[in-house]
Structure 1
């Protein structure tokens, strides 16, 4: 079966998940949030008291980690860890940094690679993350590098946290985003970078509706 794959990469807080989910709904594709998968690994190691930067300890824990993606009729992706729904828990700020740390380990990326590719083989997908167009789906039909300034991303993240009832100071959120940017772009395993054949979409000065329109235009022009 020939399927269509759309790869969306970019830094933390660029709006990848929100825009990719909306675009997938518009086009009738399966949405795959790979960041949520790494967050689930990060959440697991934190719960077990494992240092997420300890490559050996994290690698040794992998055989005991059972991660599942569940898509409902509404297309929303929910994450299960050993059968338990952890969709809400993995969005906590401390899990974001743990996810960035565990994603730097080559063993973790190898552990999750086939799961991601199998989803693209079985469905028309819009998949977002840090290395989708460069590593996971290097032959994706469309590649988009979605970004925004760190200040804009911090403001959006603060609003998201406020809406969830877990507000954080802007300076703290900005610092964490900058730290994650550095970690994601400097890791040895599949660092965040724009694929040579990816289209750059900067949403710093765009609202959600404008960003979605721009993303759909890129996809429709190339599929």
Structure 2
């Protein structure tokens, strides 16, 4: 089974992806880490995020097994990933990598912004997770504070809104729900309630698949 989970920053899709993958005993890929890793490589080398050729080359040389999630979750990396993700050559370089992961034996859970629309349009389950910008900023701000990072709520909210605008307006693979995706608004839900709601969507899809034989 392939489960595609899409949504804007800090909507809860990553946490849900991990929880669902563990419950279903499937591999999980946070595809946002791929774009963060490309941004990290460019900045570490003293480059700029708008160098599409260099960014695409970095994307082609990514090895999923070497990604360090904790090192890629700083405040600047999220903004950098959003800039990198708007580059068509980078997205093209990462498409097959993501599809190969999704099509491994048994399937996988992938979360991102274009999984259900571009990467896995034939996924067995598609969930679009959302929440208000204010609630998402509150969650992300709490994560930063928990890691001892100095950033204000207002700064995080401005970043969330800027990323939303960039992700939904980009010409290549804009952030939007797939036509057959189930919408899950987590604004008023804690992680346990959100997980139960997401699992119910996945289980219903599994039952439909089983009934088809």
Taking structure 1 as the reference length, what is the TM-score of the superposition?
Answer: 0.88
Is residue 184 of structure 1 aligned with residue 167 of structure 2?
Answer: yes
Distance 2:163 2:147 in 1: 21
- Structure 2 stretches lacking a partner, 5+ long: 207-213
Is residue 19 of structure 1 aligned with residue 1 of structure 2?
Answer: no
> How far did 1:36 drift?
0.7
Is residue 30 of structure 1 aligned with residue 27 of structure 2?
Answer: yes
Distance 1:6 1:129 in 2: 11
Q: How far does the alpha carbon of each residue in 1:9-65 deviate from its partner, in whole angstroms, 9 at most, with x for none?
A: 000110111111011111111111100111101111111222213434534x437x6
Is residue 164 of structure 1 aligned with residue 147 of structure 2?
Answer: yes
Aligned with residue 200 of structure 2, among 217, 220, 223? 217
Distance 1:176 1:166 in 2: 15
Residue number in structure 2 paired with 1:52? 49
Q: How far does the alpha carbon of each residue in 1:159-207 deviate from its partner, in whole angstroms, 9 at most, with x for none?
A: 1111111141000000000000011001111010010000000000000
| 4+ aligned runs moved over 3 Å, structure 1 | none
- Structure 1 stretches lacking a partner, 5+ long: 71-78, 81-85
Is residue 67 of structure 1 aligned with residue 62 of structure 2?
Answer: yes
Is residue 194 of structure 1 aligned with residue 177 of structure 2?
Answer: yes
Higher helix residue share:
2
* Aligned 8 A contact 2:35 2:81 in 1: yes
Q: How far does the alpha carbon of each residue in 1:89-108 deviate from its partner, in whole angstroms, 9 at most, with x for none?
A: 21111111111111111110
Where does 1:101-116 land on structure 2 (aligned, <5 Å)? 101-116=83-98
Residue number in structure 1 paired with 2:71? 89
Distance 2:50 2:179 in 1: 30
Higher strand residue share:
1
RMSD: 1.4
Question: 1:167–1:18: structure 2 CA closer, same or farther, 3 Å change rule?
Answer: farther
